A and B are shown apart, each in its own frame.
Chain A
Amino acid sequence: GAVVSQHPSRVICKSGTSVKIECRSLDFQATTMFWYRQFPKQSLMLMATSNEGSKATYEQGVEKDKFLINHASLTLSTLTVTSAHPEDSSFYICSAIETISPDTQYFGPGTRLTVL
């Protein structure tokens, strides 16, 4: 089956620094990728839709200047959390849709971000 990887799986950073999270589709091309955020014991909330070669579409309430998304190729999307603060600590999960078969989202393993 289709595999999505995320890197890093876990990151701890100091307040005010920036952190980049990568999401890769390993064996398929993904025109569209999604970024979700999940706080402890809560559901997944969609942050943004990332389309290859164009600007990301952010959900209401998500600061696009704080959460920079780049989808430069059909297999890679990156999420950069800029000037991170403790309230940005969360589990970030990406998903990807296969270009030729958009019925299913394949989820990455997630990245646990802790901002001190």
Chain B
Amino acid sequence: GENVEQHPSTLSVQEGDSAVIKCTYSDSASNYFPWYKQELGKRPQLIIDIRSNVGEKKDQRIAVTLNKTAKHFSLHITETQPEDSAVYFCAAMYSGGYNKLIFGAGTRLAVHP
């Protein structure tokens, strides 16, 4: 069945450093890949997304890259700040119908001052 693998499960960086989270997916027909940030006890919030007709998208300190051939996409956060500390989830939209999202297991990012 459809599956999304996410690495690493935890990531610890110093303030100002960059952070990279990587995901692979199994459904080759997936065409939408969102990233969600979830703070403790809060709802997941969309931070950036990419569709399969583009290879890269950037929004200020956040960028996402997509390699459809390898079925791989990544989140890049530059100049990290303590408020970036949270759990980040990648997801792929299942192509089999109805737009359900298949989520990775999450990456807990800690940014130390």
Do chains A and B interact in one complex? Answer: no
